[in-house]
């Protein structure tokens, strides 16, 4: 059992605590928040030792790991500090907005022999994992193109660090688009080149899109809007078939199509399969538990540090491209 501290007890930090209630792999015992009086009731309800000092928690031998739900620009320094204190670290996405900084964090955890985790919980969605299985099994043939969109309007009217330009230089791409970036790279490997653009309608940079070329030769497209009701779409297209999920990230339906056919007949046979249900909190729990088991050497963690560094490079490249109006190398 890993005893963990949640650092940042806002709405998403609280979701980590709720999601792992009753787990036999990870238990949140401590919490750090810069405004403890605002979260004291939640902390008391869940039996958390509450403080406003990260240093105090890092010095506590009763804490094995920390989960960071903090401003993006703080992640790397906090990972380095936690590593120096001998604590495993899971940080919410994005891991870092700059590759060099991400590599600094990775070097610190590797030097200390600690596990590094990332809050891309959507890899644990049964639909996304089934798509990955189909790709790895060759059922879709050679993967030629991937499209994804994960959008919502939840930031409208919200103030705070998530809306700051230094924390989200490409708007919602940093927030929810980051999940699509991770999934696309999990499916197709590293990105080679991209062209990103953002526009502003209600919020700064509230509509973003990215055209992608992967090292494998696959192409891709991803988008995020902060001005539309919640929606999710993911489509993988290969030489033998395609697979598509849509709705929201708790969807348990996957549509797939195999084989050739006449255009007038639809060009193939499509079918929809139903997979086990998995709420977003179920996925958070699965990630946190996989991380905890990896900390104890009992499981292989689903993410590698190299993947985390690459997504940091992607975020940096998207920001450069959106600012310059030109395609850039990742």
Contact, 84 vs 108, CB < 8 A? yes
What's the pTM? 0.94
d(CA 102, CA 97): 8
Return the residue matching tokens 């963690």.
301
The top-level CATH class assigned to 2-121 is: alpha beta
d(CA 298, CA 27): 16
Q: What SS3 state is found at 99?
A: helix
Beta strand spans in the chain (E): 2-7, 26-32, 49-51, 65-68, 88-91, 116-118, 143-151, 191-199, 207-214, 219-225, 231-238, 241-247, 253-258, 269-274, 328-329
pLDDT class of 61 with cuts at 50, 70, 90: very high
Domain boundaries, the chain: 2-121, 125-283+311-329
User: What totals of helices (H) and strands (E) does the chain contain, helices first?
Assistant: 10, 15
pLDDT of 267 above 70? no
Return the residue matching tokens 């650092």.
7
- The per-residue pLDDT for range 218-252, each reduced to its tens digit, is 999 999 999 999 999 999 999 999 999 999 989 99
Q: What percent of the chain has pLDDT over 90?
A: 89
Among 12, 42, 65, CA closest to 290:
65
pLDDT of 168 above 90? no
- The per-residue pLDDT for range 82-114, each reduced to its tens digit, is 999 999 999 999 999 999 999 999 999 999 999
- Fold agreement between 2-121 and 125-283+311-329: no
- The per-residue pLDDT for range 2-46, each reduced to its tens digit, is 999 999 999 999 999 999 999 999 999 999 999 999 999 999 999
The top-level CATH class assigned to 125-283+311-329 is: alpha beta
Contact, 211 vs 160, CB < 8 A? no
Output the DSSP codes for 199-242: E-SSSTT-EEEEEEEETTS-EEEEEEESSS--EEEEEEEESSEE
- The per-residue pLDDT for range 115-156, each reduced to its tens digit, is 999 999 999 999 999 999 999 999 999 999 999 999 998 777
């Amino acid at each position: 059992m890993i005893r963990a501290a949640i650092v940042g007890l806002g709405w998403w930090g609280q979701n980590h605590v709720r999601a792992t209630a009753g787990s036999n792999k990870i238990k949140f015992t401590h919490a750090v928040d810069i405004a403890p009086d605002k979260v004291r009731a939640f902390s008391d309800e869940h039996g958390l030792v509450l403080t406003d000092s990260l240093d105090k928690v890092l010095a506590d031998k009763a804490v094995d790991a920390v989960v960071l739900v903090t401003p993006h620009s703080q992640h790397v320094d906090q990972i380095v500090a936690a590593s120096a204190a001998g604590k495993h670290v899971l940080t919410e996405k994005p891991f870092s907005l700059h590759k060099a900084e991400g590599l600094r964090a990775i070097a610190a955890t590797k030097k200390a022999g600690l596990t590094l985790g990332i809050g891309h919980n959507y890899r644990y969605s049964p639909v996304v994992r089934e798509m990955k299985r189909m790709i790895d099994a060759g059922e879709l043939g050679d993967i030629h193109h991937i499209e994804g969109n994960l959008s919502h309007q939840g930031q409208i009217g919200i103030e705070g660090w998530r809306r700051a330009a230094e924390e989200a230089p490409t708007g919602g791409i940093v927030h929810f688009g980051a999940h699509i970036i991770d999934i696309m790279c999990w499916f197709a490997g590293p990105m080679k080149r991209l062209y990103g653009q953002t526009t502003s309608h209600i919020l700064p940079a509230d509509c973003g899109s990215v055209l992608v070329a992967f090292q494998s030769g696959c192409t891709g497209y991803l988008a995020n809007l902060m001005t539309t009701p919640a929606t999710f779409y993911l489509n993988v297209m290969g030489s033998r078939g395609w697979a598509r999920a849509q709705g929201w990230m708790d969807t348990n339906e996957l549509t797939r199509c195999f084989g050739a056919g006449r255009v007038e007949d639809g060009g193939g046979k499509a079918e929809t399969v139903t997979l086990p249900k998995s709420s977003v909190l179920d996925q958070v729990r699965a990630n946190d538990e996989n991380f905890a088991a990896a900390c104890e050497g009992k499981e292989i963690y689903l993410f590698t540090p190299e993947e985390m560094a690459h997504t940091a490079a992607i975020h940096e490249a998207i920001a450069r491209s959106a600012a310059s109006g030109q395609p850039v190398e990742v």
